[in-house]
Amino acid sequence: MHAVSVGEVLACLEFARKLRTAFPNSRLFVSASHHRRPRHRRRKLRDIADGVFYAPVDYVWVLRRVLRTLRPSAIIVAETEIWPNLFREVHRIGAGLAIVNGRISDKALPKYLRHRWLFPAVLPAVDTILAQTDEMRRRFLALGAPEDRVRTGGNFKYDFEPRAAAADSPAVQWMDRMRPAPIWIAASTMPPAQTGDIDEDDAVIAAYQRILQQHPDLALVLVPRKPERFDSAAAKRRPRAWPSSDGPP
């Protein structure tokens, strides 16, 4: 299974667990392209995958070496990772090939359409495409995917089973200290996409300062979408933004 980044890995965790349950005697390997937080990926997949590695570059000789080593029965690609040589080589060795949680974003669609001449020669190598929505399904069809192989399968991010956190988890200990204070969680905040856009961390902190006037015991959990922004978000913590100097981190 190939999931490009931490987000895709997390979205596919439940799917990976179901694969292990359905095929207990098969080995499962996960590759990723994103270089950030490799230890986080390995920790999440520790009890699920037999191995986690960086995805090979899309060169035929590299791919053939990896495929000879793994000898996969099936390759499962998450979201929008369309690699022409990989798809052709998987088709050549007779392994199954599927795209799951498929999506083509509004931003990416024009770029894909400009190169639509390429995809009719690549997408027919895929046995099944499970798109997140009907709109995503139509976008894959517009790129040349065979109609009988593209279905709407929903978004994997919503297919999860909540599990209790470990008793020694810092999050659990912090929640115990905060009870019964109300908590506001601002998760997956983003920086400005372009000049003139607002920084969502700044917007949340400004709103929090106003809310504190009527709800002085409210705690804020601010979680930027990208881990590299954690420090910059923490630096915005000002004494006037919290109920007291001993307020939440």
Identify the bridge partners of residue 76 per DSSP, sorted by sequence position.
98
User: What's the pLDDT tens digit per position in 51-81?
Assistant: 888 888 999 999 999 999 999 999 999 988 8
Number of separate helices (H) and strands (E) present in the chain: 10, 8
Q: Is residue 60 part of a domain?
A: yes
User: What's the pLDDT tens digit per position in 142-164?
Assistant: 999 999 999 999 988 887 677 77
**Same domain, residue pair 106 and 225:** no
- Residue 225 near residue 207, CB atoms below 8 Å: no
Reported pTM = 0.71
* Tokens 């990896």 -> residue: 66
**Same domain, residue pair 198 and 113:** no
**Same domain, residue pair 86 and 122:** yes
What is the tally of structural domains in the chain? 2
**Same domain, residue pair 142 and 57:** yes
Percent of the chain with pLDDT over 90: 43
pLDDT greater at residue 158 or residue 84? 84
**Same domain, residue pair 67 and 15:** yes
Percent of the chain with pLDDT over 70: 90
**Same domain, residue pair 54 and 151:** yes
- Residue 33 near residue 68, CB atoms below 8 Å: no
**Same domain, residue pair 82 and 180:** no
Q: Which of 158, 181, 210 is the last residue of a domain?
A: 158
**Same domain, residue pair 82 and 177:** no
Q: Which residue is catalytic, options 8, 79, 81, 200? A: 8
Query: Quick one: tokens of 106?
Result: 């509004």
Q: Is residue 246 part of a domain?
A: no
Cα–Cα–Cα angle for 81, 84, 87, rounded to 5 degrees: 80
**Same domain, residue pair 153 and 179:** no
CATH code of residue 117: 3.40.50.11720
Q: Is residue 197 part of a domain?
A: yes
Identity of the amino acid at 129:
I
**Same domain, residue pair 193 and 117:** no
Q: Is residue 184 part of a domain?
A: yes
Q: Which domain holds residue 69?
A: 6-158
Q: Is 8 a catalytic residue?
A: yes
Strands (E), 103-203: 128-131, 150-152, 183-189
**C-alpha span between 211 and 200 (Å, rounded):** 16
**C-alpha span between 168 and 172 (Å, rounded):** 7
Containing H/E element for 16?
A: helix 13-22
**Same domain, residue pair 144 and 179:** no
Strands (E), 33-180: 51-54, 74-78, 96-102, 128-131, 150-152
**Crossing angle for the helix pair 60-70 and 84-93, nearest 10 degrees?**
40
